[in-house]
């Protein structure tokens, strides 16, 4: 028997690297960092082993730990000292994220992406200003257009503090355009926008809500985040955001949405990010704790798969662990 085509020829040690289609480097990874104004000490997040909420005076140390693994970029989430209906602390000059950005900027060479949303800052936990009657009638939801100004102001305050990239995640129609306009008119025309363009209303965010204390007090986010059943709609979302000035777009979550990552990568000519979310992280930890899966191997395989699908960069809680192995 003669087989002319034998794919196994290229799978020999010494050749596998040469023909590998996907590369993963620490510089592709972005580590989430949680800075918490309500604590004096570093607090572990139970459902996300190895992850912590850190007080302001520990945030530089935390970021330097990330940097020591080879990861060059963090995405910053804040837990404010107080919450209210409008998320007043989200755009405060002395807000927790604004102060953290200044401290990191002064002390390190790490690239800081700031998450721009209101859900960590509102007492109702939604990503924007509520429609007037929403508290009494939980079927109502976020007032889209009333939220735009709050998001723009929050993004501008992050840029003023020194954020390298702002990343709006509120899934508010028009948010990228509103933020771009505000940044440009405030002297931050050079600050790029990474839009969470295709963010799904996903059950995989559970552990993050423990971490950022951002679970909605009522209802859910299905009126503004995307329906997990929709893929074509993601292409409309990214097209709108790019039209409005997004410099890069994100798909979130990652693993259950690799088809979306792939379709977006083929459809757009800007960098594509994918967010390997808290539930994806927690699942592998839980299975590995039981001895059912090898944590390092499954984490690395997951990140390679996300890259293979088309993500240029990956936001992941595995950033430090995997970077240290690469």
Residues of this chain that interact with Zn ion (CB under 5 A) are 117, 119, 127
Q: Which is nearer to Zn ion, 119 or 161 (CB)?
A: 119
Q: Which is nearer to Zn ion, 55 or 128 (CB)?
A: 128
List the catalytic residues: 199, 252
Q: Is 237 annotated as a binding residue?
A: yes
Contact status, residue 67 vs residue 82, Cβ threshold 8 Å: no
CA 33 to CA 114: how far, in whole Å?
A: 10
Q: Find the shortest distance in angstroms from Cβ 111 to Zn ion.
A: 22
Q: Find the shortest distance in angstroms from Cβ 224 to Zn ion.
A: 9
Q: Kindly give, in sequence order, each residue whose CB lies less than 8 Å from that of residue 252, ignoring residues fewer than 6 positions away.
A: 169, 196, 198, 199, 200, 202, 274, 275, 277
Q: Is 278 annotated as a binding residue?
A: yes
CA 302 to CA 279: how far, in whole Å?
A: 13
Q: Find the shortest distance in angstroms from Cβ 131 to Zn ion.
A: 16
Long-range contacts (CB closer than 8 Å, 24 or more residues apart) made by 102-106: 102/161, 102/162, 103/56, 103/59, 103/60, 104/59, 104/60, 104/63, 104/74, 104/76, 105/161, 105/162
Q: Is 127 annotated as a binding residue?
A: yes
Q: Is 117 annotated as a binding residue?
A: yes
Q: Which is nearer to Zn ion, 120 or 265 (CB)?
A: 120
Q: Find the shortest distance in angstroms from Cβ 39 to Zn ion.
A: 21
Q: Is 221 annotated as a binding residue?
A: yes
Q: Which is nearer to Zn ion, 96 or 127 (CB)?
A: 127
CA 234 to CA 326: how far, in whole Å?
A: 32
Interhelix angle for 232-243 vs 258-267, to 10°? Answer: 40
Feature table: binding site for 5-aminolevulinate: 209, 221, 278, 317
Feature table: binding site for Zn(2+): 117, 119, 127
Feature table: binding site for Mg(2+): 237
């Amino acid at each position: 028997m003669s087989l002319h085509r034998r794919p196994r020829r290229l799978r020999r040690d010494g050749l596998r690297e040469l023909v590998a289609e996907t590369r993963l480097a620490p510089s592709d990874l972005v580590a989430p960092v949680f800075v918490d104004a309500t604590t004096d000490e570093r607090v572990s997040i139970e459902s996300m082993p190895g992850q912590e909420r850190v007080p302001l005076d520990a945030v530089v140390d935390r970021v330097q730990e990330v940097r020591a693994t080879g990861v060059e970029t963090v995405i910053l989430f804040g837990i404010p000292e107080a919450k209210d209906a409008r998320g007043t602390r989200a755009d405060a000059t002395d807000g927790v994220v604004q102060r953290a950005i200044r401290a990191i900027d002064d002390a390190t060479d790490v690239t800081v992406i700031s998450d721009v949303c209101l859900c960590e800052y509102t007492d109702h936990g939604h990503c924007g200003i509520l429609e007037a009657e929403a508290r009494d009638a939980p079927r109502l939801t976020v007032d889209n257009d009333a939220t735009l100004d709050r998001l723009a102001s929050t993004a501008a305050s992050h840029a003023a503090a020194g954020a390298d990239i702002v990343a709006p995640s509120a899934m508010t129609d028009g948010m990228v355009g509103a933020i771009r306009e505000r940044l440009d008119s405030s002297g931050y025309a050079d600050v790029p926008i990474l839009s969470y363009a295709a963010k799904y209303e996903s059950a995989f965010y559970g552990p993050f809500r423990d971490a950022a204390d951002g679970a909605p007090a009522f209802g859910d986010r299905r009126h503004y985040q995307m329906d997990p059943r929709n893929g074509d709609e993601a292409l409309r979302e990214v097209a709108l955001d790019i039209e409005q000035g997004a410099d890069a777009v994100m798909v979130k979550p990652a693993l259950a949405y690799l088809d979306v990552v792939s379709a977006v990568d083929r459809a757009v000519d800007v960098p594509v990010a994918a967010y390997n979310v808290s539930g994806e992280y927690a699942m592998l930890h839980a299975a590995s704790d039981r001895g059912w899966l090898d944590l390092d191997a499954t984490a690395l395989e997951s990140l390679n798969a996300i890259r293979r699908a088309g993500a240029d960069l990956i936001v992941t809680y595995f950033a430090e662990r995997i970077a240290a192995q690469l």
